[in-house]
Amino acid sequence: MDDMYDVAIIGAGVAGGLLARTLAAYDLKICILEKEHDVATGATRANSGIAHAGYDALEGTLKARLNVRGSRMMERLARELGVPYRRNGSMVIGFGDEDRETIEKLYARGVANGVEELRVIDGEEARRLEPGLSRAVTCALHAPTGAIVCPYELAIAAVGNAMDNGAELFLDFQVGHIEKNQDGYTISSVCREGRGREGDGGKGAVCPGEERDKKAGKEALPETAGNGKDSGEPSPRSVRARYVVNAAGIYADEIARLAGDDSIRIHPRRGEYLLLDRACGGLVSHTIFRTPSRQGKGILITPTVDGNLLLGPTSVDGEDKKDRATTREGLEQIMARARENVEALPQGKVITSFTGLRAAGNTGDFIIDSPGPGFINVAGIESPGLTAAPAIAEYVAEMLAAQGLALNRKADYQPLRKPVYAFRNASPEEKNEMIRRDKAYGRVVCRCETVTEGEILEAIRRNPPGRHQAPHQGPDGPVPGRLLHALPHGNPLPGAGNPL
């Protein structure tokens, strides 16, 4: 059996996941390599969840082109993957003549980028659309094509659908070595001693940590169900692939250097957020932006697809790629600036806060290039990266085809993924039917969010599958512990409501 993959994708965020899903439509052998214990754990899990209309990116850039294309693709994509999506529209609000000039420039840029239905409106019309806006608002750019989507559900569903169509997922695979071969690349993971495999092209090498475990009689945990590959703890592994796509988020520069490309510089841009209770979800219906600065789009206010209200982010450039701490100063800044836009925001309804790290590159644009045959970078995917992700996948697939990858459509490709129906949103009749089919839906595990055991088990069993951990005692006996994919677990996520 040939163990050579056609394409190895490094990174299981929304960009890597949607690329895997796009390529899984073709007769290809694909794998996704993810350094963490789960998918969607980087920038994808902690961002604004906005599908931008496309007026902000400079004309002629990849950001502009792929933002508008991705915005047009997003609604159908979300429907196929069963992911929550709502076209709620967005507004950029201004507070005087200087802001008006910026808004007029954004309007002209949006028209040049191909954004449809844009309008510049006065403050009175803005308040008719959003009665809660400050009386000081004098003008706004109204973009009806703006939307909201759940970013981590989109990535989870994309990876899951790719796996349903034959792609393989390797978790705990931190890339430590990339070697160019005559027929492609060998990619080796970092072992527990911090070194990649060496000496035999990835076949049979054992790191010192693994050797000690063998002598101590330790055995690796079994692989996950389905076709996700997971040893239970980091072990040195290698895969061979004809083509490699680097979609490693804030670590994309480090992966590029492993392949001999030193042209990319990525630094983390910290963005702190406040998530408000669902009781506040109706305070605004649009996504509300301030006029943008060089650092970003300022403090926004947006509903989430789950009915919460999200405020943020701050924008602070840093160097530490693991610093996701929140700060008193940042959170106070968010609430103060947000209340300049919508005065009725209540401090006492904040249910959680979190920090996301955006991958800020050194070019001001997305870095999607091929520094060598068969190797493609997808780096610097900061805002509007979520919106652009479907178009990025399409674009990279075209690049791979131009380099010789044969894209022959599968006859049995299945683009649809069954949506997850929240028990709390079902009618009484639907709830009774769900319980009749599976009694686990009658056991509520999280009362504040009305999450049932049946929903949790479904999330665990579908692709990407749950992770084996220590068993715990359930109502019907021992139940294997899992890392949940479709529900928040251990980290606050935008739009998720109270964590279990």
So which residues are the catalytic ones? Answer: 52
Per-residue HEC secondary structure of 228-287 comes to: EECCCCCCCCEEEEEEEEECCHHHHHHHHHHCCCCCCCCEEEEEEEEEECHHHCCCCCCE
Amino acid, res. 277: D
- The answer to whether residues 297 and 312 touch, using CB atoms and an 8 Å cutoff, is no
- The answer to whether residues 47 and 387 touch, using CB atoms and an 8 Å cutoff, is no
CA distance 40 to 86: 21
Alpha helices in 342-422 (DSSP H): 385-402
161 token code pair: 């659908």
Task: Give pairs for 98-103: CB < 8 Å, separation 24+.
Answer: 99/138, 99/139, 99/291, 100/138, 100/139, 102/291, 102/292, 103/139, 103/140, 103/141, 103/291
CA distance 271 to 50: 15
Q: What share of the chain is helix, strand, coil (3-state, %, to 5)?
A: 30, 25, 45
- The answer to whether residues 315 and 269 touch, using CB atoms and an 8 Å cutoff, is yes
Segments of 349-431 assigned E as strands: 350-360, 367-372, 375-379
Q: Which residues share a beta bridge with 269?
A: 317, 358
Q: Please give the backbone phi and psi of residue 498, each rounded to the nearest 5 degrees, phi first.
A: -65, 130
Q: With b meaning 16 or more CB within 10 Å and e meaning fewer, what string describes 398-433?
A: ebbeeeebeeeeeeeeeeebeebeebeeeeeeebee
Give the angle subtended at the CA of 440 by the CAs of 438 and 446, to the nearest 5°: 145
CA distance 209 to 16: 30
Place of tokens 């964590």: 499
Nearest to residue 444, comparing CAs of 435, 398, 370, 219?
Answer: 435
For residue 280, CA distances in Å to 85, 189, 246, 301, 353 come to 19, 45, 39, 11, 15
Tally of CB atoms within 10 A around 346: 14
273 token code pair: 């957020």
184 token code pair: 């492609």
